Chain A
Amino acid sequence: MVLYRQTWAILLAIAVTGFISQGFAGTLHGLWLLQVHPARLINDYTAIAGTGATLVNAVLVALIGLVLARLSKVRISGPVIAAVYTMLGFGLFGKTPVNSLPIILGVFVASRLARTNFNTYILIALFGTALAPVVSAVAVEVLPIGPASWTMAVAAGVAVGIVLPPTAMVMLRFHQGFNLYNIGLTSGFIGLFVASLVIAAGGSLPATLIWNTDPDIVLILFIPVLSVIFIVAGMAKNPLKGWKDNWEINTLSGRLPSDFMDMVSIHGSLVNMGLLGLGSWGYCMIVQAPLNGPVIGGILTIIGFGAFGKHLRNCWPVMAGILAATLLFGVELTAPGAILAILFGTTLAPIAGEFGLGLGFVAGFLHLVMVSRSGAWHTGMSLYNNGFAGGLTATLLAAFMEWYQAIRDDSPKEST
């Protein structure tokens, strides 16, 4: 209950900040613009509708997740916190209430078809809004805009939502929990089919890049303020326990599903979330990356998963691998692909947590190579492109490690 209230308070504060920064009328106008704008990667909403409208849009998307979780009577803990902050982050560049709700409705229909409670699919529904651009694409890109296109868009959203649960469960088995954004792999996979269908039907899905290079002060200060709130909240009752529990969290592998709030403590998790936020923000400041919608979205996702699989110890080897690949292949550190890869690439953190720094580094290195290509495959239909590429990398490494451990265990021992 405390976490639920705390999250509500944070979201309300963000929405108020949004209204103040852009004015009431300007915010509402921008908010409307976003609902009817294409959402495929990369559409930085802060450049399209302004900071205030983008923040309010993100809050509305996150509130859908939080309220649905509450109504579904699931515990507000690590996985729900991860989902809500991921939704908040992607509300800055791709998700809106309008394009997210049909996906959630589709997952609900899937739960009815499976004769199970919606709460067993709630996480798939919330993370599954990664496919929200499918709805927007059908409504405003593929078909002539009108009631028919919106009807088709909702139908498409519901259809992909129905396919999500069975696909997500199978995808988990591929990488065995070593890709934290499993819905990224799932939605990228489904996105391949959607994009192929659209192109086969004669549609055109050109690459998009709307990227705010001049974010305002509200966006620049957003993450450090939020991170400090988490750290203070985590240390409020007992500062020593907050740090001690955070230390314990750093000893865990983070493999799915690792609910740090349940396995260790809420306070340690909040400190972890804050530290990850400050660390990621610090990196962006050092390389002078613009703190725009997608970059803040990446950091918010890291913060959310600070309660569900990520910590400084399992993230840095992966980030180091991505950084090394970026430098080796001559990619600019602040290029959209590179900065998003280093933030979202931490989806592979459990590989470093389970198998050590070396394999974590290799995973990160491979990730940059894969993620540079994978977005074009699904034409940006899945917002979790790094989850898609990360899932492929994790599957490769999990398969290799399974084989390697089997032959190592079976090899004859040397006699002394």
Chain B
Amino acid sequence: MIIGQFIPGQSWLHCLHPKGKLIFVFIYTFLLFWMQDLTAYAVLAIVPIVGYLASGVSIQQVYRSVRPVFLLAIILFLLHLLLTKGGRVVWETSIYTLYSAGLEQGTKVVVRLLLLVLTASLLTLTTSTLALTDAFSGLLKPLERVGVPINSFAMMMSIALRFIPVIGEEMQRIRQAQMIRGASLQYGTLRHRLRSLQSMLIPIFLSIFRRADELAFAMEAKCYNSEHPRTQWRRQSFTQLDLWFAILTSLLILSLCLMRWWH
């Protein structure tokens, strides 16, 4: 998932109410784990496909968003091939037998994982982090009655997300500065690598603290006070678009329920 990599745009996906999108991702996740057969996954796969086509996000960005989970997907797939028994025998040698159930389960797990990551990325790619945290805190609002400081949490989240790219760039600079001085995380003795790690971590932490300090001053200067109520100017109202989205989502749920019942 690309965190903090919102790509601004005007597609209908961008215009949907963030709360609606967030709820949809929850429902979608539930459906992915509830449904067990590949036909259902084929239906569910329509969501990211249509979504990416509509969002205008490039294929490279899609690739980037799933790249981090490829390794995990491969490992899960191989584990199922090795460990799951059942069904008919597909291939047999003296030390290892490949069962059809292993193949099927492995495929399902991988498909499920990819669909989940793709759909969740779609949410973060088309919703600004601020809107997303607002939606989060809006949904969690009832918890405020029992004393959970939802607004402060939401602010913390959105700031953390905003600074990820800034800190990422800084880390790159620090890594290079220390590489020039002979630091390396991949080569040399363990002692050398640990010292290299230290040479990168300390400047990174110091830089984060320095930034946090300045940011706190800047926020206070802009009258931020966690105890005051804040207006939320992006508070979108639900539109006709959201209504259609809700209808389509219900249809999707209904058809999947029918499919499950059919089996």
Q: Do A and B bind each other?
A: no
Residues of A within 8 A of B (CB): none
By a beta-carbon cutoff of 8 Å, the part of chain B in contact with chain A is none
